[in-house]
Amino acid sequence: MINAIWGITQLPFKRDPTALLKQQQDITGFIKIHALQGGFSVILGQPGVGKTVLREHIERFDATRECTVVSCSRTLHTYRQIAWQLADAFKLDCVDKTIEKDLIQAAFEQVKARKTLYILIDEAHLLEIAVLRKLRLLFERFPRNHNLILFGQPELLHSLCLSANQDIKSRITYSATLKPLNDEDLQSYITGELEAAKMGIHTFDEAATALIIRCVEGNLRLCRNLCLASLIEAARETQKIVTITHVNHALVQPHWRSHDQLIKQQAH
């Protein structure tokens, strides 16, 4: 529908791959540097601030000759599940009894092949500390040229800061928090997506843009979803300019309304 109304071939706010924003680019640069010396990185952020986009960008390193990427994106991992995902990535034919030894040997083979190994664990705040401790012991025996990267919500760091977990926290070589975007960054993001799709940068009028920025409160995922929903509302009316009316039509949907607003609606 959107493509037909605006005469475009690429849908804005749904592009793949998604372009990295400035803070994501900076974090990627540090992750690459720390991978050269045996890194243990922690990337924190509230849901929707861009951790998934960053993880997917690093996963694409696997398409290059210089990198091997193992991404564990299923929640509630056990230590053995992660170990077997590593074994699958290395194409190892091993048994459970020797898997750790075989993984370490495979890691050294990666270094001999001049490859850098990235191990990504998503939703790491859901991991049990005992699993993290076992992973730390395993990767300490790996050669350089690897980076274990934990993606999680801020409570991950709170857990690692407990005195009982200092043995893990003290080994972190790099950490960063993805912060909500400011109004200027959100404006640039919206404009950049419109330009990439070859749409006019004034497709959203000034009032519509201001309302979107105010409602999403710096959350990248919410901004993307609200912009796309507003475009759909405009397309339904065959309008090429998104107005504040179209944004409001999207915002009346229950999932955009606050808990207090929903309670008041039910009371009426």
Residue 266: is its pLDDT beyond 60?
no
Residues in the chain: 268
- Answer with the one of 158, 177, 196 that is the final residue of a domain: 177
Report the 10 Å Cβ neighbour count for 99. 17
- How many angstroms separate the CA atoms of 190 and 194, rounded? 6
In a domain, residue 17? The reply is no
Q: Confidence class of residue 268 from pLDDT cuts 50, 70 and 90?
A: very low
Report the 10 Å Cβ neighbour count for 268. 4
Amino acid, single-letter form, for residue 87 = A
Q: Confidence class of residue 136 from pLDDT cuts 50, 70 and 90?
A: confident
- Answer with the one of 140, 162, 177 that is the final residue of a domain: 177
Task: Return the beta strands (E) in the chain as ranges.
Answer: 39-44, 67-72, 116-121, 146-152, 174-177
Do 211 and 260 lie in one domain? The reply is yes
Do 208 and 239 lie in one domain? The reply is yes
- How many angstroms separate the CA atoms of 221 and 256, rounded? 13
Number of folded domains that form the chain: 2
Summarised one tens digit per residue, pLDDT across range 147-174 is 999 999 999 999 999 999 999 999 999 9
Q: Give the mean pLDDT of 7-16.
A: 88
Tokens for 87, please give them. 């074994």
Do 26 and 6 lie in one domain? The reply is no
Do 129 and 210 lie in one domain? The reply is no
Beta bridge partners of 67: 116
In a domain, residue 89? The reply is yes
Domain range for 66 is 22-177
The per-residue pLDDT for 75 is 54
- Distance from CA of residue 23 to its chain's centroid? 12
Q: What is the DSSP letter of 247?
A: H
Summarised one tens digit per residue, pLDDT across range 85-105 is 889 888 898 888 899 999 999
The CATH number linked to 115 is: 3.40.50.300
Question: For residues 22, 116, 56 and 153, what is the CA-based torsion angle, rounded to 10 degrees?
Answer: -80
- How many angstroms separate the CA atoms of 27 and 177, rounded? 9
Do 35 and 135 lie in one domain? The reply is yes
Do 115 and 220 lie in one domain? The reply is no
- Choose the weakest-confidence range: 40-54, 195-209, 253-267: 253-267
Do 131 and 234 lie in one domain? The reply is no
Q: Give the mean pLDDT of 105-126.
A: 91
In a domain, residue 130? The reply is yes
- Answer with the one of 177, 202, 228 that is the final residue of a domain: 177
Higher pLDDT, 124 or 16: 124
Tokens for 247, please give them. 């944004």
